[in-house]
Structure 1
């Protein structure tokens, strides 16, 4: 069995709702947040498998096609690999918000499916996200939950087990454990 770090994408790995980009609908909209590649490298070095679990309702709403999402994820992996870091796998929900599907966070299906596929021990793993649906999905999957960033800080940490200002701060903390 292995340990995993499950990461939300938008707002944890890359910019979203910023001055530079509102939504990521094509590779040119993708900008890694500072310290993310270093954080993922730390996770890799201390023996965690790293996964991305992301709701991508823009596909269901018609704002982008799955081919564009694949190109975005290819760009993300290339940007992270350039720093010597590795993402082991990516799961995404392409359905519209409120579609009632089993895979959209806050439901835990993406996490559970990746855990089964990669033999991950969930109670020794973490789900890191910047919004309440990420935290709820992690709780339901049985991971320790980590709130990243400031988007929902006012909402009592969204019920997360712990919180950090960014992914690198979390990685550095985990490295010391």
Structure 2
């Protein structure tokens, strides 16, 4: 199975320091929907793993998060792509849970659900915590420069073997060459 895990905010859609709190605020990054479509058509299974502490902070509830994700599914589908599943952590950083990236809980759950060995798990993120989470399970971290990616790259301390691309479209182009 060819499985690709994507962070949401900053990878698929524009991020906001004020959080994405409604479907109307969810705006795709140019080229991201087409990238998911190309990967889907090439046989890749796309899964999203996203921290959503806005739920834990009371900024929006799970019903609203589901509406946001419904918009994302709809837009990806209109572009010809498919997201197989969305894993999310609703907790605040202070909760100390195992599912919030950089902890590897969500990625461990994804591995278990899809039967993908750790060394074959690839995750695309724009933040150090995304890269740390996939590295913690022995997977391959991929950084995009969209969202917080440029800041993350400039900060250094990337996990060993991290690949860096301008955006999700560039990641897709590279994966489709293989």
Query: Scaled by the length of structure 1, what TM-score is found?
Result: 0.92
Alignment of 1:21-170 (within 5 A): 22-149=18-145, 150-156=150-156, 158-159=158-159, 161-170=162-171
Check conservation: 1:157, 1:163, Cα contact below 8 A: no
1:157–1:50 Cα change, 3 Å = farther
Query: 1:157 Cα deviation (Å)?
Result: 6.7
After the TM superposition, which of the residue ranges 59-68 and 115-124 deviates more from structure 2?
A: 115-124
After the TM superposition, which of the residue ranges 154-163 and 128-137 deviates more from structure 2?
A: 154-163
**For residues 132-176 of structure 1, what are the alpha-carbon distances to aligned partners after superposition, in whole Å with 9 as ceiling and x for unaligned?**
000000101221110011231201273361000100001101111
After the TM superposition, which of the residue ranges 5-14 and 34-43 deviates more from structure 2?
A: 34-43
Distance in 1 (alpha carbons) for counterparts of 2:38 and 2:114: 19
Distance in 2 (alpha carbons) for counterparts of 1:15 and 1:32: 6
Check conservation: 1:46, 1:175, Cα contact below 8 A: yes
Where in structure 1 do 4 or more consecutive aligned residues deviate above 3 Å? none
Say what the alpha-carbon RMSD is for the aligned residues.
1.5
* 1:175 paired residue number: 176
Query: 1:100 Cα deviation (Å)?
Result: 0.3
Query: 1:118 Cα deviation (Å)?
Result: 2.1
Distance in 1 (alpha carbons) for counterparts of 2:105 and 2:38: 26
**For residues 2-44 of structure 1, what are the alpha-carbon distances to aligned partners after superposition, in whole Å with 9 as ceiling and x for unaligned?**
23111110000100138xxx42011010001111111112222
Structure 2: state its 5+ residue gaps.
none
Structure 1: state its 5+ residue gaps.
none
